Amino acid sequence: MIAADFYRMLIIIDRTKNIVGPQIRKWRYARGWSQARLAVQLQLNGLDMSREVLAQMECQIHCIRDKHIFHLARALEVKMSDFFVGFEK
């Protein structure tokens, strides 16, 4: 039974395309913004991103490039490290 649980966990981890999606959602909610509003803010800050891609990032089914994290932090007015809370060690 333990081996089966471990295998299921590996499948879930393998399907996860990023680790910061939940943090993006958290900071967006904290601002009271919709995904559409954040997408517009990103576009105004120089990153062409649709609401659909942003939704996929938040659901961890879309890979995030390092430049995306820079633009997300700038748009949400947080530090880039705020997206990695809990992953310090």
Q: Looking at the predicted structure, is the pLDDT value of residue 13 above 70?
A: no
pTM for this model (two decimals): 0.78
The amino acid present at 8, given as its one-letter code, is: R
Question: Are 31 and 67 within 8 A, CB to CB?
Answer: no
Task: Please give the Cα distance from 47 to 61 (Å, whole number).
Answer: 19
- Percent of the chain past pLDDT 90, that is, above it, reads 71
Location of structure tokens 């990695």? 84
pLDDT at 82 over 90: yes
Set out the domains of the chain in order of their start, with CATH numbers. 16-78 (1.10.260.40)
pLDDT digits (tens, 9 = 90+) for 24-61: 999 999 999 999 999 999 999 899 999 999 999 999 99
Q: Does the pLDDT of residue 22 top 90, yes or no?
A: yes
